[in-house]
Every structure is written in structure tokens, then in C-alpha cells.
Amino acid sequence: MSNTDLEIIVEDPTAPEDDSPSVVSTRTIEIIVSLVLLALAIMLGFDNWRTGIAWDSTGPQPGYFPFYLSVILGGASLYGLITTFFARSGGSGTFVTRAQLRRVALVFIPTALFCLATQFLGIYVASFVLIAGFMRMVGKIALWKSLLTAFVFTAIMFVTFDVAFDVIMPKGPIEIGSRSLGL
Amino acid sequence: MEAFGLLMHGFAVLMTWKIISLMVVGLVLGIFVGVLPGLGGPNGVAILLPLTFTMDPTSAIVMLSCIYWGALFGGAITSILFNIPGEAWSVATTFDGYPMAQQGKAAEALTAAFTSSFIGSLVAVMLITFLAPMISSFALKFGPPEFFAVYLLTFCSFVGLGREAKHKTVISMALGLLIAGIGMDTVSGNLRMTFGSDNLLRGINFLVAVIGLFGISEILLTMEERLALRGHAAKISLRTVLKVWMDLPKYWVTLLRSSVIGCWLGITPGGAIAASFMGYNLAKRFSKDPESFGKGRIEGVFAPETAAHASGTAALLPMLALGIPGSGTAAILLGGLMVWGLNPGPLLFVEHKDFVWGLIASMYLGNVVGLVIVLTTVPVFASILRVPFAAVAPMIVVSCAIGAYAIQNAMFDIWLMLGFGVVGYVFKKIGIPLAPFTLALVLGSRAEDAFRLAMIGSGGSVGVFWSNGLVGTITTLAITLLFWPVIDRAFAAVARIWRPTPVTT
């Protein structure tokens, strides 16, 4: 085997440890998901039953088709719940370890904050903050690189969507203010 | 011959600088999407769909389909150089592709992968060219019962032939159909499943769901893993390309067999993943030296790549001819057609000839241009992987949010995207398949309309789905496929009973 052409190497300094303890098992999550889906099926089934699942002069009422789908969803969820509950083996592996959960939270929480910030700051300012903040705080990348990358990417997005393709994005006070100043 | 003439007309439609440029842009974006971890064909197409809203339908679909071809090509780069399959259908490519790269034959492996992708796609596009008009003219005779029966066949075959637990496929599909029904009922104008929310009045756009299910969830999943890469750099020279191409005739049986498998599994909802594995396994089984597979044999790259790409391309045949997509990405392309007010299905061939034949011609041209681009730019795309994931992840999140917002200009859709991201993450980890969910989301309202019209026509009797030979055959086939695992087991049991017991002396 020749290793002379091994040229692309990217290290991951924040990689999750292999021996991290399990937070929750796959079996538990399967049971929770089945219960949630069963509740959803009952809720949607009830709403469709209220809307009408019978026949009238124009044919099947609006709730007819989705009502039976709710029944199918409920039946399949119940089946999943029973089989998972009574399964002696299988599906009992780890759903997520503590280290993995921490890494997922490192993306999920900033993404949720980004969605919230978009409502108040506009999508471009929120994007700039997300990219720069994520690169600096999670990736430990140099501040100037993080700021420059965030600025360039946000500018490309703005030019592509708002200018070239005329797709209007949500704007916040900074974007509206800079536009009114003619920037 | 008529198809050939129309195809030439399609090429004439394409030959403008604007469309050729869009084709190149689409292919480059697609390869980029295929190479980047956390992105793939379906979400790449979904995220970039808003870019095409202001274009005419032909330009838009050419760009989108080229993103699709590009993503198919891009997956091979990471599989061969880094042993990281960008998509599930690239897994089989790693078996021999990565060992070839380890032996210093990365350029040969990449050339083989790109060339066989091209061949697989080409065979499937030829099939589309000659079969789609025939199927669509046949489908013009379809009424609501026949259309519902075909939708039912698609849904049932996903359940019956899928590899996942059956109840999980049913959950995925029923949930997709229910979500598609949220909002105002198109027939009566009544509100369904909105629970008094103004945001749910217009329903849930399937693209928002797809961006969350595939884009955000993939970022969450990718973050879970160790993101260290150790791989090979490669540059493809003209000499290597010619050497691989000169050897192609030796593998014509493998290429042909994989193309046929791919086309078949693309038209039926078997999918590219099944096609690539089946292509690889059959190449190994029929080989004179099966032991050499998995150790860096070029045939082990040809077989899965040809089958996967033939399948990915053939999935567009039922989409164009019947309005029923054969894959998740085809479902998103179909959604794109509906955004531009085009109704995929048999009437498309009659009402929008320029569009259909322009699209088919772009499949030929897109694959040729795509092949040239990937062969010449491998080092550039491979080096994208040097960019730390901490920089890539937030950029993908922003692209997803922009894509989700742009579809309906609604802030609520960004939150929905995030919610679907969590659903996708959990579903993927517990084995609930997402492809039937996407398909059901796209086809939901069409299937319901066909069902209601058929039932109104029959006065409420389900016998309408057996009212003539055609609809009866399709419905019976659908039910047979739904119960296929049970039928298969029953056949196996009967065969065991009838098999003579070996006499031991």
C-alpha cells in the first residue's frame, strides 16, 4: 500500500469520546415516538371526525380520507409500541451518548437562536452572527477568519437572493436602517 | 422516429447561452452538494429551488435537474478518496473504490466511477426518450380510478418491497399523507387539521418539510460523528481517462447488466441504494474471480455506479409520464414542476412539448457536460473537504433557512423547518424511512383528489377500483405487493413441503 499520496487530512479536535456513557436507549425513544404518534393520530382523527367523515350530496366529506389515514397511523403506531415494548432483544442499543448529545446541542441551540434572531434582526444579520459565532466558538477558528467568512457568505447570499433573483428575505432594523442611509 | 424528431427539437430549445450557463452552474452546485458532508441530492435541490422561482420553467428545471446529476457525480469523490459515502447509494462504491485509491489508483477509480455513472444515466435517458411518450399516451386513457390505483401501487410497493420494518414505512407514509391534507380542503373549502392556527391555513409546504427532514437533520447527524478525514488527493490526467475508456469494452456485460438493474429499480420504487448493491453483488457472483472483489477491482466500481445512476435517472420516467416520482429527489423535482403551474403526467407531453423535450435533451447534455466537469475538477472538489465542518455547518443551516423562507415568504416556515429537522433526526436514528414520507407529502393531495373523484363517480362503491381490466389489474397488483412479504413466505413454505427430502444412507 502506498501512502505517498495521503494529502488531505482534517483533524477533529472536538470529536466525541468513544467511551461516552449512553443518555437514552433506542428502545426508549421508539416507545416515546410510538406514543407521540399514537396521540397525534387520535388528535387528527378526532379533528377529522368533527369535520365530517360521512357521505353527503357532494361525495365524501372533507374528513373522510384523512380520518382513515389517522386510523392507519394509529394502528401502525400501536403495533410499533406493542412490538417494541415486548421485544426481548434488539433495538436496545444506544440512541445517543452524552458526548454525541453535547455535539448535537452545539448545533441545535445556535440554530434555534438563529431562527429567533431572524425574526428580530432579519435573516442576513442573524446569518452573519450565526456563522461567525459558530466558527469562533465551536470550531475555535481564528476571529478574523470567522468574521471574514461570515461576511463573504452573507454578502453572497444577499446578492444571489435579494439582488440577482429578486427573492425578498426578512429584514431587521439594521438592514432597513442601512438601506435608508443608502448603504 | 417521432421521439427522435421531438428530441432534436428539445436540443434546439436548449441551445441558448443562458440555458447552457445555467446547466454548468447547476452541475457545479450539484457536485458541491454531493461532496459536502451534511448535504445531498434531495436537500440540495430543495434548498436551491427558490433560486429558480423567477425563471421560466424550462430554464428552472434544467438547472434543478443538473443539480441532481451533479449530486450523483459528487458522491463518488468522497467514497473513493475518503471512504466516506456521500449518499447511501455510494456505499457499494467504497468496497473497491477506496482500496484502489490506497493502491495509488485513485484517478483510475474516479474515472471509472464517473464514466460508469455517465453510461448508466445515458441508458436510462434513452429509455425515458422512447418509453415516456408511449406510457404517457397510454395513460391519457386513465380516469380518476386508474390514477388512484397507480398511486396506491406506488404506496403499496414501498411498503411491500422496502427493506425497513413494514409498520415503520406505513407510519412514514400515513404521516406524510396526513400532513399533505392540512389546511383548506380544495373541494369543499373546509379547514382541516389546522386547530385554529392561521399559519396552518395554507397548509405545510412539502419543500419546507424536505429541507428540515434532509438538511437540518443531516447536520445534526453529521455533528454526532467524528469529523476527522484522512484521504487521498487525486488528479485525473487525459492518459488515465483514455486508458480506462480503452478497457471499457472488456466490461460491457457488467455495464449492461447494471444498467438494466438500475433502470428497473428506478422505475419501480426500489431505488438507487438497492440498485447499487444488486449491481455490485451480481457483478461479483458472475465474476470468474469473485475473491478479488473488495480488494480494489475496477469492475467493483463500474457495477454499483452504473446501476445507481441508471436508477436515479430512470426514477424520472414515472414522474414525467404518470406524475408519480420514483425517488425522493424526483418527488422534489415534481414539486418544482407544480410550483411553476405545470401538471406532471400524461398531459405534460401534449400541453408542454417544448418543456418536456427540453428537459429530456438536458438530461443528455447535462450528463456530457457533467462528465467533463468532474473529470477536470476533481482536485478542486476534493479540497472542499479541507474546509472545517464548523464553517460548513452554519452555512448549510443558513442556506436551509433562506430556502425554507423563500418558498412562501413566511417566518413560520423557518420554525417548521427546524421542527422537521428534529423529526428527521429521530426518524433516521430509529429506522423510520423518509423517502415514503416525502413521496406521500408530494402525492397526498393528488391521491386524495383521485380517490374522491373515483368514489363520487361510483356513488361510494370501492368496486370502482375493479370496474375494468386495467384498473382491476393495477389495484390487484398493488394489494399483492402490499402483502408480498407474506406471499413470499407462503411460497417458500410450500416449496419446502414439496421439496423431496434427501435420502441419507
Q: Is B504's pLDDT higher than 60? A: no
Q: Which residues of chain B lie closer than 8 angstroms to A65, CB-CB?
A: 181, 448, 451-452
| Min distance A19 CA to chain B CA atoms (Å) | 13
Q: Which residues of chain B lie closer than 8 angstroms to A134, CB-CB?
A: 390, 393-394
Average pLDDT over residues B394-415: 89
* Per-residue pLDDT at B360: 87
- CA dist B338 → A89, B213, B320, B412, B443 (Å): 46, 20, 12, 22, 11
Q: How many residues does chain A have?
A: 183
Place of cell 478518496: B81
Q: What is the rounded end-to-end Cα distance, in angstroms, of chain A?
A: 58
By C-alpha distance, the chain A residue nearest B170 is A76
Q: Is B151's pLDDT higher than 90? A: no
| Min distance B122 CA to chain A CA atoms (Å) | 32
Q: Which residues of chain B lie closer than 8 angstroms to A29, CB-CB?
A: 426, 429-430
Dist. CA B100–CA B95, nearest whole Å: 9
Please return the burial class of B287, using the count of CB atoms within 10 Å of its CB with bins 0-12, 13-18 and 19+: middle
Look at B398 and A131 and tell me if their CB atoms are within 8 Å: yes
Look at B397 and A4 and tell me if their CB atoms are within 8 Å: no
- Least trusted range by pLDDT, from B120-129, B288-297, B332-341: B332-341
Nearest to A123 among B168, B191, B401 (CB): B401
* Per-residue pLDDT at B270: 63
By C-alpha distance, the chain A residue nearest B295 is A1
SS (H, E, C) B250-299: HHHHHHHHHHHHHHHHHHCCCHHHHHHHHHHHHHHHCCCCHHHCCCCCCH
pLDDT in tens, A87-144: 766 556 889 999 899 989 999 999 999 999 998 889 999 999 999 999 998 888 899 9
- Residue A2 pLDDT class (50, 70, 90 cuts): very low
Dist. CA A60–CA B423, nearest whole Å: 32
- Residue B4 pLDDT class (50, 70, 90 cuts): confident
Q: How many pairs of residues across A and B have Cβ atoms under 8 Å apart?
A: 225
Better-scored residue on pLDDT, B141 or B480: B480
Q: Which residues of chain A lie closer than 8 angstroms to B192, CB-CB?
A: 47-48, 51, 62-63, 66
| Min distance B231 CA to chain A CA atoms (Å) | 5
By C-alpha distance, the chain B residue nearest A43 is B193
- CA-based angle A147:A148:A151, to the nearest 5? 85
Look at B388 and A139 and tell me if their CB atoms are within 8 Å: yes
Better-scored residue on pLDDT, B502 or B27: B27
pTM of the full structure: 0.84
pLDDT in tens, A142-181: 999 999 999 999 999 888 888 877 777 887 777 777 666 6
| Min distance B274 CA to chain A CA atoms (Å) | 23
Look at B171 and A37 and tell me if their CB atoms are within 8 Å: yes
Helix (H) or strand (E) holding B191: strand B191-192
Q: What is the mean pLDDT of chain A?
A: 85
By C-alpha distance, the chain B residue nearest A51 is B192
How would DSSP label each residue in A76-95? HHHHHHHHHHH-SSSS-SEE
Q: Is B277's pLDDT higher than 60? A: yes
By C-alpha distance, the chain B residue nearest A124 is B398
Residue A22, classed as helix, strand or coil, is strand
Dist. CA B117–CA B275, nearest whole Å: 13
* Per-residue pLDDT at B432: 92
Dist. CA B183–CA B318, nearest whole Å: 28
Tell me phi and psi for residue A22, to 5 degrees.
-75, 140
Nearest to B430 among A33, A70, A140 (CB): A33
* Per-residue pLDDT at A1: 40
Which segment, A122-131, B90-99, B150-159, B215-224, is predicted with the most confidence on average?
A122-131
Q: Is A5's pLDDT higher than 60? A: no
Look at A62 and B418 and tell me if their CB atoms are within 8 Å: no
Q: Is B227's pLDDT higher than 70? A: no
Look at A62 and B192 and tell me if their CB atoms are within 8 Å: yes
| Min distance B110 CA to chain A CA atoms (Å) | 15
Q: Which residues of chain A lie closer than 8 angstroms to B167, CB-CB?
A: 76, 79-80, 83
Dist. CA B301–CA B94, nearest whole Å: 8
Dist. CA B350–CA B133, nearest whole Å: 9
